[in-house]
Amino acid sequence: MNAMTADAADVRTQPAARAEPFFSVRDIHSYYGESYIVQGVSFEILEGEIVALLGRNGAGKTSTLRTIARTEVPELKRGEIWLAGNPLHSMKSHEAACSGVQLVPEDRRIISGLTVEENLILSQVAEPRGWELERIYEHFPRLAERRKQEAVTMSGGEQQMLAVARALARDLKLLLLDEPYEGLAPVIVQEIERIVAGVKELGITTIIVEQNAVAALKLADKAIILDMGQVVFDGTAREVLDNEELRHEYLAI
Ligand SMILES: Nc1ncnc2c1ncn2[C@@H]1O[C@H](COP(=O)(O)OP(=O)(O)O)[C@@H](O)[C@H]1O
Ligand SMILES: [Mg+2]
């Protein structure tokens, strides 16, 4: 589709009607109060790509994801974030969610006291909705088996599965996964990897933050390395795996 057709098809795309990447972050700066954390991060992602966002502890990975999802903190003070022609930078978190950004935070935010099914239904309360329950259960048979179980009593891997399923229950265009493998046994990590690969097959774009850089790079098309709130590398996953210096310096692998 050329820029002219995009213009004609949808006026909302007009401000970004140049040949735009699917997702772009342009010189974003964000703060926790006076603390200046995300310091001019820029990158672009094509639709359907998996991007591994890597870097040492405290590099600003979570803060970058939260800035993209437009959570209350950190506060975005400068820069632009565009998803499919929509300006996330001028949105609140619920509006970003309505535009298709779904953040699965490290703690997964599974709601205690609710069953698996109730957790799923809750994510469908607001429009626009994504997958129906039936489709979710077909895709995640384990969740179907456990639909009446209190969700927080499931294993870590099953809870991670539910967190991804909840994102699919919304209108999902950009999935933000913050350390999805954390605390999971290797065999369960493999299971979550298959789920992330499945999300890619659906054409959905994903940013995955992981301490387990090797596992994240295995799935990723592209890698971005952050250090002290700035991008120090932006290239292919292969380039990172082949660059020993880079791996030692920023990833300890
Ligand atoms: N709520 C917060 N208030 C103040 N500083 C924070 C807050 N959360 C994170 N930080 C700081 O921001 C920096 C980046 O943190 P974070 O984005 O969590 O890094 P990463 O996810 O890469 O480990 C760290 O120095 C951290 O101490
Ligand atoms: Mg983090």
- Per-residue pLDDT, 126: 87
- Per-residue pLDDT, 18: 57
Q: How many domains is the chain built from?
A: 1
- Per-residue pLDDT, 2: 46
68-125 per-position pLDDT tens digit: 999 999 999 999 999 999 999 999 999 999 999 999 999 999 999 999 999 999 999 9
- Per-residue pLDDT, 1: 42
Q: How many CA atoms lie within 13 A of 170 on its CB side?
A: 25
Residue 58 Cβ contacting ligand 1 at under 6 Å: yes
233-242 per-position pLDDT tens digit: 999 999 999 9
C-alpha dist (Å) from residue 94 to 2, 70, 118: 30, 8, 20
Domain containing residue 133: 50-71+92-251
Helix (H) or strand (E) holding 246: helix 244-246
192 in a structural domain:
yes
- CB-count burial class (<10 Å; 0-12, 13-18, 19+) for 27: exposed
- Per-residue pLDDT, 13: 52
76 in a structural domain:
no
155 in a structural domain:
yes
Question: What distance in angstroms lies between residue 104's CA and the mean position of ligand 1's atoms?
Answer: 17
40 in a structural domain:
no
Residue 61 Cβ contacting ligand 1 at under 6 Å: yes
Query: The domain that contains 193 carries what CATH number?
Result: 3.40.50.300
Residue 130 Cβ contacting ligand 1 at under 6 Å: no
242 in a structural domain:
yes
83 in a structural domain:
no
Q: Ligand 1: which of 29, 35, 65, 76 to mutate, most ligand atoms within 8 Å of CB?
A: 35
Question: What distance in angstroms lies between residue 242's CA and the mean position of ligand 2's atoms?
Answer: 25
Quote the tokens at residue 229.
């709130």
- Report the atom number in ligand 1 closest to the C-alpha of 64: 17
Radius of gyration of the chain (CA): 18
Dump strand ranges (E) for the chain: 23-32, 35-45, 50-54, 75-83, 86-87, 101-104, 174-178, 205-209, 222-227, 230-236
Q: Ligand 1: which of 62, 208, 209 to mutate, most ligand atoms within 8 Å of CB?
A: 62
Residue 34 Cβ contacting ligand 1 at under 6 Å: no
17 in a structural domain:
no
27 in a structural domain:
no
Q: Which residues of the chain have pLDDT under 50?
A: 1-9
